[in-house]
Amino acid sequence: GAVVSQHPSRVICKSGTSVKIECRSLDFQATTMFWYRQFPKQSLMLMATSNEGSKATYEQGVEKDKFLINHASLTLSTLTVTSAHPEDSSFYICSADQGEGGYTFGSGTRLTVV
Amino acid sequence: SQQGEEDPQALSIQEGENATMNCSYKTSINNLQWYRQNSGRGLVHLILIRSNEREKHSGRLRVTLDTSKKSSSLLITASRAADTASYFCAGGYNKLIFGAGTRLAVHP
The pLDDT of residue A100: 75
Q: Which of B40, B43, B48 sits opposite A101 (nearest CB)?
A: B48
The pLDDT of residue A57: 95
pLDDT in tens, B16-50: 999 999 999 888 888 999 999 998 788 999 999 99
Confidence category of residue B1, pLDDT binned at 50, 70, 90 = low
The pLDDT of residue B12: 97
CA end-to-end span of chain B, whole Å?
36
pLDDT mean for each 10 residues of chain A (114 residues): 92 98 93 94 94 92 95 93 97 90 91 98
Q: Is the pLDDT assigned to residue B68 strictly greater than 70?
A: yes
**Does B48 lie at the interface with A, CB-CB under 8 angstroms?**
yes
Lowest mean pLDDT among B35-39, B80-84, B103-107: B35-39
Q: Which of A60, A91, A102 sits opposite B1 (nearest CB)?
A: A60
- Which chain A positions have a beta carbon within 8 Å of B104's beta carbon? none
Give me chain B's average pLDDT, please. Answer: 92
Confidence category of residue B2, pLDDT binned at 50, 70, 90 = low
Query: Dihedral of the CA atoms B1, B104, A91, B2 (nearest 10)?
Result: 0
The pLDDT of residue B95: 87
Confidence category of residue B3, pLDDT binned at 50, 70, 90 = low
- Which chain A positions have a beta carbon within 8 Å of B1's beta carbon? 45-46, 59-60
Top pLDDT among B56 and A98 is at B56
Question: Which of B39, B43, B88 to probe by mutation at the A interface, max A CB count within 10 Å?
Answer: B43
- Which chain A positions have a beta carbon within 8 Å of B48's beta carbon? 101-102
The pLDDT of residue B39: 83
The pLDDT of residue A62: 96
